[in-house]
Structure formats: C-alpha cells, structure tokens
Chains A and B, each alone.
Chain A
C-alpha cells in the first residue's frame, strides 16, 4: 500500500503562477510515500514545496528547469515494481509510444513516467506501462491545445498498481482509476 505521486511540467513561474487551489488542498503531507516529478518545475521553490509533501522526491531534468543538476533519467524500485522517470523532450518524436517503449526497455522498468506533452496518457504494452501525468498546472504547451491540469497518484500494492488520475476539468476535479497488474516473469 504505497502511494506514489507523479506530476510534472508545472512551469512555475514562467507559464503558471501556482498549482490549482483544488489540487493544493488535496495534496497534504503524510499520505504520500514517494513523489516523482518528470521535470520543468522550474524553480527551487517548487522543489521545496514538493519536498514538504514527502521527503522522498525524485526529479528528472526538463528543458526549462533552473537546476541543472537533475539527471536526465532516473530509476527506482517501489515494492515489486521498477519505475523509470524521464522528462521526454529527449525522446523524439515527442510522445511517440514506440520510442518511449524503447526507452523503457533501455531502462528496464515496468512503469515509465514521462512528461513534456502536457497531456495525460497511460499506455499499456507488453513490456509495461507508460504513464504521462500531464501538466499539474495546466501550463501552455506548444504541442497540445486545451491543457487541463492533471496529475497521477499510483497505489502500488504487491503485484497490482492502481492508477488514479486527477484532472481539473471546468473547475471540477475529476478522478479516474486504472488497474494494472504485473505479470511475474
């Protein structure tokens, strides 16, 4: 029963001032065990805020991040799952599933979390799952129209991961749930 928060592409302060208030009220410290951030925070204050949610924070570098010390990719193991993080601007064509799958195989992870497209997607293919949490602030994107703020919460429990997607549509938080089971190989 491990809760992992995945978000990214906040673009604070350049494209957005802050997280939506409804999201902020939901994200309280104490519930979440890990935070994964795909990148493009962009400033240190956002990093500190995420740190308050949970001390275990993993960030990869997006192209607009101020801090150049974040790695390009990162892997971690939570429970039975191996997770990989990458911002995604390095993987061309942006958002292409096959290329991302290639990256996933390179990193050898079950769940790959990427961003950059500012749009929530969750693909399952034979090697694993690719999740894009979208932009948590709904920041402008040159490749996507009508960006809705969104983020993802993963509930990792044994061999099963439940992905809760929180989207702010028309001022209302909509939640959706996707189940993934890992086949032991």
Chain B
C-alpha cells in the first residue's frame, strides 16, 4: 500500500492508514486538538450507532407489522395501495431507487477480480447509497454518487487488510487469551499463570515477540490501540473494523457529501438548484466551473480565451470532474493519492477581508475548494499544447473529456498546490461577474455580425434561453452597484434601463483585468481642435457606451488584427496604465473590440460609407498613443484607435454629414433610426443596441460636459444630448 505523506501535525501515526487519515480530513474523526486514541474511538462508535439506527428506521420490510398491532386496515396497507405513506408504497419507492443504484453499481470498476464487484462489497455499497438517498430525499440518487463512495469503502477495506496483517505478525497483542483454558492437572507444580504454556499458537519466528506494547513501532502501536477490543467503547470503538466497515463508509460518505460543516459539499454538485447564498442563481456546478475558468484566465489567459472563443463552456467537461472528484480521469491508485491531497486540505470557509458574502463563488470557498479548482486548472494546462492546436470545439472537448491515463500525478498535484493560493485569492474576487463573463463571451462572437471567420461555432449560443442572459445581466448589475466606484454608477444604471429589452445581453469586463494582460488606457490629447475633439468626444462616448459588450480583450485584439491587417497595430500595449479607473481599463478593452462591432454593424446597416473624417482623425494619431492623465476629459480611448479607424469613419461620416457638435448626437440618432428602417430583416435587438448605445453616448457627453466644467460647446452638446435621449426614450416606448 503506497504511503502518503501527511502534513497534519499529530497524525503522523496514521500516515499509513488511509481510512483513518481520510476520516480525519473529512471531519468525522476529530482532528484538533490532537486527539487521543480514546477520543477517536468514541467518535467512531457514535457514528456507527447513528448509522445502525438509521438503517433500522429506513429499511422497510412490509411484512413486519408496525407497532406490533395489526396494520391500520388492510385497505391502507396492501401492495396495490395508492397511499404513498403505506409501507408498501415506501417499499416500492425503495425498490425503484435500488434499481437505479444497481444499474450504476454493476458498472463500477467492472474489471475482473475487482474488489468492487464482489457481492459483499456491492451489497454494502447498495445499502449505503440507498440509506443516504432516503435520508436526503432532496437530492435523490444521481449517477456518480457511487463513484464517490467506492474509493471510501476501498480505503477502509485496505486498512482492515493491513490490520489483519499486523494481527498475524503480532499475534499476542491481539490474542484474547480468555478462551479455552483448560485446567492442567499435572503433578509438577508449574505455575498456572504461565501464559506461554497455554499459548497454543505456533511461535512466530518471523517477528520478535514484543511483549511490551511500547516496544512496537508507532504505526503498529497505533493500529493495536485502535483495534483493541477492550479500549474505549470496546468493540464498537475499534476504529479499523471489518464488521463496521459499512457504518464507517456511510459516515465518510455523508461527511463528504454534506461537507461536514465545511464549505465544499459534494452534494451541492449534484443539485440543480442554486447554492445557498448565491446571487447568480446558477447551480453550484456551473458556478464552480466558471470559477475554475476564471482561475484559468488568470493563470493562462491565451488558453482561456482560446477555449472561450471556441465556445467550450467549462461545465461540459468539468461536470464530470467535479461531481466525481476526478474519479473517472485517473486509475484507482492515482485517485487515492489525489484524494489524500484533497482531504488533507482544510474545508473551512475562507475568511475574507470584508465580509462580502455575495462576492465569492460560495461552493468552492475553502482551501479544499481552491485546491480542487487549482487541480482542474492544472489538468487543463497539461493539455495546453493540444488544445491550442485545435480549432474546433468538439475536438477540444474530446481531448478534455478523454484525459490521458498516463499522466504523472505528482506533477499535476504539485502544480495544483502552487496554484492553490492563487485560486483562493481569485475566488474571493468578483468571481460572480466573471461567471457572467465566462459564460457569455461565446455569444459575443455571435453578435459581432461580421466578425471573423466561421470557424467559431455559434451553435452553442442557441442553447441559452433568453431570460438567462437578462437575469444574469440584472444580477451583474446589482453586483456592480455595490462593488464598483461611484464613477461607474451612471453607466450601469443606464444600461439597466434598456437591458430588459435586449436579448442576449452581455456583461462587460468590468473587473480587474487579468494580471497577465496589460491594458493601456490611452486618452485623447488635450488639444486637438475643438471640432475634432468633440467629434472624437462623441465618438468616444459612443464607444464607452458600448462597454457592456463583452469581448475578451485579447480576443478582440486578435480579431481586430485579422480584420484590418494594418501591420503597425500594436498588439501588445506595453505601457503601464496610469491611475485609471477600472472602468476605463475595461472600457478600453471592450471599446477596442466593440469598435469593430460597431463598425461592422454600422457597415451592414448603411451601405457605402465613405470614410470621411480621415483628416480629422489623422491629426489625432500621433498624440493618441500618449498616455495622459486626463482627468479633464475623463474619457479613455482604446489604443486600438488606429485599428478602429474604419469603424470611426463610419460614425464620423455621420457626424460630418450632419454637422459638428450637437449634430453628432443627432447623427447617431439618425443613424440609429435609419438603421432601424433599413434593416428590417436584422435583429431588432441590433437596432435596440444601437439605440442604447446612442443613449449612453449622449449621457457620456453630458458627463464629460460636466467634468470639463461646461465650456460653451459643451453646453450645447449637453442640451442636444438630452434631446436625443428624450427622442430615444420616445422611440423605445413606442416599440
């Protein structure tokens, strides 16, 4: 039996006894303060009593009359009774459950000679699962629970075998010398108390007879003490006991499923309903999967964006990983090692700096959860090369689902440990928002109508129901209101207003950008001509306004690159951001890509937009790449300005055509209206989106006006912006 190294102080003696080790880790056996053998025994005995009582209560034999009296009328209690409370009714329900369980059990580790296929083991597994499901009717039986239970039983079995080995080699510590004493009537006055005479067993030549317990090595000593039938709680307290294997396995399984007052409870992964205090309203599996994806994005952003672009949602493959704690990805021996690590992690809830319960992914919020998430990420990283090489989602999924068998588990575990701290930290960030981000970006691709190639599968988008996104949006919005600073409040509020109408809304990457990603906020230079400035100004506002569209920063960059192909587009904005809002950062990012969206949507709506305003723009470029602390404008423009020229051209065209300043807003409004009129066959939502953007842009204009301290043109702009807003609201109300 492979030995595990335990880092828990005070439990070194149990190092070789996985069953005990795991019970300590799962919280069944008290782990702190360092418990005495007696304590362990007592706790074990208590658990066993509980299980026995449960079994008596729940396993129904319809023939046995209840309370000794004749059953309450045969009318109630006949086999065909429709009454759900009747004994027969319960019996049939149990029988159905048993059938389901049996289906799974027959397929558990089916290789010949497997311990799990022996009848004894199968019977135990069946009973344990049945009783657990009956005592937790809200979960029922789900496929996968048997796979969680099987290794638990296995380690107990191994421990018991170990015990019998030790017994054989140290017989006299186990021999109960109270039976079969014969009274020797021999003439010679031998001392009757000479035990060696009565010791009928053959002398052990293999091991030295250690008469004194303390002479044994500590492990054996512990084993002896743990299984002493005269210790605390006598036979019920023998910690390694074959007779009570079922009881122990049940308590381990129960602790694992319910989390044993910790955070990570496996049962949550089987339930479709949202986890306790979760704001997102998703099932815990989805939350956990997205937390894992979030960690991946922090750790290895290119891979993450690649997967997201392909539309590989995390729960497709991680459902199986999480529900069975990686039981299907590794062989049994490897799995035992892995679970050693998992159970060695503490399962108590992480303490956060501020008590913001809402802000974390509740399901994985403990060191154990962090480790699980980190391990999943390290598994994905292992397949990095092949994942990055494939261009379509199905084969990516195939690779992830058929995880190679011959991996070096230690390496994966080591990597997971190194990521564990990061995972814990990441978990406590705004992971809910990123839940949205992770799940939605795929649809962003779908909406950028002309974006890129058809290689990105869009079929996955259709699966998501409309209200799903709306809901997410609302929740996200609530989140943001709490978290983000004041400066952002206006923007989200506005968005909320029309988000209801828009289907398939996407959240914005408002969160702290991943550390690997360097974003640049590049602001307008302070002194282009006022005309141009206002042109840009409104344009920027428009761009800012579209913050809510999510495209991954990198993804957009890449796409943009392909789109425009201008060689000098700096892909890597290496300048560090000056003190900038999170908003600006993210809006930078989203702006860049959104520009293209805008550009494209504009492009499709209006034909033949002559790129006008190049001159205006061209004044700008040299200064655009300067980073400036621009509190006055308070605007940020994506450095990808250059790239977005054509996009801007389309917008600017309108501006120029319609005049300067105040006309800009009208321009956008007109364009929106025209867009609505022209593109009847386009989605209404696209036009709605444009409307919304227009609104936002107007509001940004007003914002900027106030920030700049209202110069004259600013006032006019503000007024016109307000007018436009009114018009748009009329439009919307008419729709």
Binding site for B on A (CB under 8 A): 3, 25-27, 30-31, 153, 155, 157, 162, 164, 166, 173-177
Interfacial chain B residues near A157, Cβ < 8 Å: 63
Inter-chain contact B79/A164, CB cutoff 8 Å: yes
Interfacial chain B residues near A25, Cβ < 8 Å: 82
Interfacial chain B residues near A174, Cβ < 8 Å: 75
Interfacial chain B residues near A30, Cβ < 8 Å: 92
Inter-chain contact B92/A31, CB cutoff 8 Å: yes
B78 within 8 A of A: yes
Interfacial chain A residues near B63, Cβ < 8 Å: 157, 162
Interfacial chain B residues near A155, Cβ < 8 Å: 79
A-B contact list, 14 entries, CB within 8 Å:
A26-B80, A26-B81, A31-B79, A31-B92, A153-B78, A153-B80, A162-B63, A164-B78, A164-B80, A166-B80, A175-B73, A175-B74, A175-B75, A176-B74
Task: Give the shortest distance, in Å, between A7 (CB) and chain B (any CB).
Answer: 12
Inter-chain contact A177/B78, CB cutoff 8 Å: yes
Inter-chain contact B74/A177, CB cutoff 8 Å: yes
Q: Which of A27, A162, A177 contacts B80 (CB 8 A)?
A: A27
B66-90 to A contact mask, C-beta < 8 Å, 1/0: 0000000111001111100000000
Inter-chain contact B75/A164, CB cutoff 8 Å: no
Inter-chain contact A31/B80, CB cutoff 8 Å: yes
In the complex, chain B residues 51-65 whose Cβ is within 8 Å of any chain A Cβ? 63
Inter-chain contact B82/A26, CB cutoff 8 Å: yes
| A31 to B81 Cα, complex, angstroms | 11
Closest to A177 in B: B74
| A166 to B75 Cα, complex, angstroms | 9
Interfacial chain A residues near B80, Cβ < 8 Å: 26-27, 31, 153, 164, 166
**A31, A153, A157 — which one has the most chain B CB atoms within 10 A of its CB?**
A31
| A31 to B79 Cα, complex, angstroms | 8
Interfacial chain A residues near B78, Cβ < 8 Å: 153, 164, 166, 175, 177
Closest to B70 in A: A177
Inter-chain contact B75/A173, CB cutoff 8 Å: yes
Instruction: Please name the 8 residue pairs, one residue from A and one from B, whose CB atoms are nearest each other, closest first.
Output: A26-B80, A175-B74, A177-B74, A175-B75, A164-B78, A175-B78, A3-B79, A153-B79
| A49 to B112 Cα, complex, angstroms | 43
B155-189 to A contact mask, C-beta < 8 Å, 1/0: 00000000000000000000000000000000000
Interfacial chain B residues near A175, Cβ < 8 Å: 73-75, 78
| A146 to B78 Cα, complex, angstroms | 25
Interfacial chain B residues near A3, Cβ < 8 Å: 79
Task: Give the shortest distance, in Å, between A78 (CB) and chain B (any CB).
Answer: 15
Binding site for A on B (CB under 8 A): 63, 73-75, 78-82, 92
7 further interface pairs, Cβ-Cβ under 8 Å (given A26-B80, A175-B78, A177-B74): A25-B82, A26-B82, A31-B92, A155-B79, A164-B78, A175-B73, A175-B75
| A132 to B92 Cα, complex, angstroms | 27
Closest to B75 in A: A175
| A111 to B80 Cα, complex, angstroms | 21
**A25, A27, A155 — which one has the most chain B CB atoms within 10 A of its CB?**
A155
Task: Give the shortest distance, in Å, between A159 (CB) and chain B (any CB).
Answer: 13
**B73, B74, B75, B78 — which one has the most chain A CB atoms within 10 A of its CB?**
B78
| A164 to B73 Cα, complex, angstroms | 12
| A177 to B92 Cα, complex, angstroms | 19
| A25 to B81 Cα, complex, angstroms | 10
Closest to B71 in A: A177
Interfacial chain B residues near A153, Cβ < 8 Å: 78-80
Interfacial chain B residues near A166, Cβ < 8 Å: 78, 80
Interfacial chain A residues near B75, Cβ < 8 Å: 173-175
| A31 to B75 Cα, complex, angstroms | 17
**B63, B74, B80, B81 — which one has the most chain A CB atoms within 10 A of its CB?**
B80
Inter-chain contact A164/B74, CB cutoff 8 Å: yes
Closest to B96 in A: A30
Closest to B88 in A: A31
Interfacial chain B residues near A176, Cβ < 8 Å: 74
Interfacial chain A residues near B73, Cβ < 8 Å: 175
| A175 to B79 Cα, complex, angstroms | 10
Closest to B99 in A: A30
Closest to B91 in A: A1
Interfacial chain A residues near B82, Cβ < 8 Å: 25-26
| A173 to B74 Cα, complex, angstroms | 11
| A149 to B67 Cα, complex, angstroms | 33
Interfacial chain A residues near B92, Cβ < 8 Å: 30-31
Task: Give the shortest distance, in Å, between A146 (CB) and chain B (any CB).
Answer: 21
| A111 to B75 Cα, complex, angstroms | 24
Task: Give the shortest distance, in Å, between A167 (CB) and chain B (any CB).
Answer: 11
| A98 to B80 Cα, complex, angstroms | 32
| A162 to B62 Cα, complex, angstroms | 12
Closest to A26 in B: B80
Task: Give the shortest distance, in Å, between A133 (CB) and chain B (any CB).
Answer: 14
| A166 to B63 Cα, complex, angstroms | 18
Task: Give the shortest distance, in Å, between B72 (CB) and chain A (any CB).
Answer: 12
Task: Give the shortest distance, in Å, between B370 (CB) and chain A (any CB).
Answer: 46
| A91 to B293 Cα, complex, angstroms | 79
Task: Give the shortest distance, in Å, between A137 (CB) and chain B (any CB).
Answer: 17
| A3 to B74 Cα, complex, angstroms | 16
Task: Give the shortest distance, in Å, between A169 (CB) and chain B (any CB).
Answer: 12
| A36 to B58 Cα, complex, angstroms | 33
| A113 to B280 Cα, complex, angstroms | 63
Closest to B92 in A: A31
Interfacial chain A residues near B81, Cβ < 8 Å: 26
**A27, A162, A174 — which one has the most chain B CB atoms within 10 A of its CB?**
A162
| A27 to B75 Cα, complex, angstroms | 15
| A157 to B79 Cα, complex, angstroms | 13
Interfacial chain A residues near B79, Cβ < 8 Å: 3, 31, 153, 155, 164
| A25 to B79 Cα, complex, angstroms | 13
**B63, B79, B82 — which one has the most chain A CB atoms within 10 A of its CB?**
B79
| A155 to B80 Cα, complex, angstroms | 11
Task: Give the shortest distance, in Å, between B465 (CB) and chain A (any CB).
Answer: 34
| A175 to B83 Cα, complex, angstroms | 14
| A118 to B107 Cα, complex, angstroms | 49
**A3, A26, A30, A175 — which one has the most chain B CB atoms within 10 A of its CB?**
A175
Closest to A5 in B: B80
Interfacial chain B residues near A31, Cβ < 8 Å: 79-80, 92
| A3 to B81 Cα, complex, angstroms | 13
| A31 to B82 Cα, complex, angstroms | 12
Interfacial chain A residues near B74, Cβ < 8 Å: 164, 175-177
Task: Give the shortest distance, in Å, between A81 (CB) and chain B (any CB).
Answer: 16
Task: Give the shortest distance, in Å, between B693 (CB) and chain A (any CB).
Answer: 59
Closest to A28 in B: B80
| A176 to B92 Cα, complex, angstroms | 20
Closest to A164 in B: B78
| A26 to B78 Cα, complex, angstroms | 11
Task: Give the shortest distance, in Å, between B63 (CB) and chain A (any CB).
Answer: 6
| A120 to B60 Cα, complex, angstroms | 31
| A111 to B81 Cα, complex, angstroms | 24
| A111 to B171 Cα, complex, angstroms | 58
Interfacial chain B residues near A26, Cβ < 8 Å: 80-82
| A31 to B80 Cα, complex, angstroms | 8
Interfacial chain B residues near A173, Cβ < 8 Å: 75
